[in-house]
Chains A and B, each alone.
Chain A
Amino acid sequence: MTNVEKKPKARPPSAEVAPEAPAASAMPAGSPASVSAEALAHGGGAWADFRRRVGGNRGAMIALGVLALLIVVALIGPFITPADPNAQNLRAVLLDPFSPGHLLGTDQLGRDILSRLIVGTRVSLLAIALALLVAMAIGVPLGFLSGFLSGRFDQVVMRLNDAAMSFPPLLLAIALVGVLGPSLRNAMFAVGILMAPRFLRLVRGVVLGLKEETFVEASRSIGTPTWMVILRHILPNTLSPLTVAVAVTAGYAMLSEAGLSFLGLGVQPPDASWGSMIREGFLYFGRSPWLGIFPGVLIALTVFTFVTLGDGLRDALGREERTES
Chain B
Amino acid sequence: MLKFFLTRVATTVPVLLLVTFVVFGLVLLIPGDPAVTIAGPEATVEQVAAVRERLGLDRPMVVQYWDWITSALTGDLGTSLFTSRPVATSIGDGLPVTLALAGSALVISLLIAVPTAILSALRRGTWLDRISSIGSSLGIALPSFWLGLMFVLLFSLTLGWLPATGYVPIEKDPAAWASHILLPALTLGIAGAAESARQLRGSIIGVLQQDYVRTARAKGLRGRMVIGKHVMKNASVPLVTVLGLQITALLGGAVLVEQIFGVPGLGQVALNAVTTRDIPVIQGIVLVAVLVAMLSNLLVDLTYGYLNPKVRPR
User: Quick one: CB contact mask for A283-296 with B, threshold 8 Å, 1 for yes?
Assistant: 00110010011001
- Given A167-B290, A175-B286, A179-B279, are A17 and B125 also a contact pair (CB < 8 Å)? yes
Q: Is B193 an interface residue (CB 8 A)?
A: no
Closest approach, in angstroms, between the C-beta of A203 and any C-beta of chain B?
Answer: 19
Q: Is B297 an interface residue (CB 8 A)?
A: yes
User: Quick one: CB contact mask for B275-314 with A, threshold 8 Å, 1 for yes?
Assistant: 1010100110110011001100100000000000000000
Which residue of the partner chain, among A28, A263, A292, A320, contacts B125 with CB atoms under 8 Å? A28
Q: Is A71 an interface residue (CB 8 A)?
A: no
Q: Is B142 an interface residue (CB 8 A)?
A: yes
Q: Are A292 and B149 in contact (CB under 8 A)?
A: yes
Q: Are B126 and A16 in contact (CB under 8 A)?
A: yes
- Given A163-B22, A168-B290, are A25 and B125 also a contact pair (CB < 8 Å)? yes
- Given A300-B146, A304-B138, are A168 and B19 also a contact pair (CB < 8 Å)? no
Which residue of the partner chain, among A14, A29, A286, A300, contacts B142 with CB atoms under 8 Å? A300
Closest approach, in angstroms, between the C-beta of B155 and any C-beta of chain A?
Answer: 13
Closest approach, in angstroms, between the C-beta of A171 and any C-beta of chain B?
Answer: 5
Which residue of the partner chain, among A168, A181, A262, contacts B145 with CB atoms under 8 Å? A262
- Given A175-B282, A263-B259, A320-B206, are A300 and B248 also a contact pair (CB < 8 Å)? no
Which of B24-32, B44-52, B174-182 lies at the interface with chain A? Answer: B24-32
A19: chain B residues within 8 A (beta carbon): none
Q: Are B143 and A324 in contact (CB under 8 A)?
A: no
A residues with CB within 8 A of B: 4, 6, 12-14, 16-17, 24-25, 28-29, 159-160, 162-181, 251, 255, 258-259, 262-265, 275, 278, 282, 285-286, 289, 292-293, 296, 299-304, 307-308, 311, 320, 322, 324
* Chain A to chain B: the 7 pairs with minimum beta-carbon distance, closest first: A178-B274, A170-B252, A168-B252, A296-B146, A163-B18, A303-B141, A304-B141
B residues with CB within 8 A of A: 11, 14-15, 18-19, 22, 26-27, 29-31, 122-127, 137-138, 140-146, 149-150, 152-153, 157, 202, 206, 208-209, 238, 241-242, 245, 248-253, 255-256, 259, 267, 270-271, 273-275, 277, 279, 282-283, 285-286, 289-290, 293-294, 297
Inter-chain pairs besides A175-B26, A258-B145, A285-B153, 18 sampled, C-beta below 8 Å:
A4-B209, A24-B127, A166-B297, A167-B289, A167-B293, A168-B289, A171-B251, A175-B274, A175-B285, A179-B30, A179-B282, A180-B31, A262-B256, A263-B256, A293-B150, A303-B143, A304-B141, A308-B137
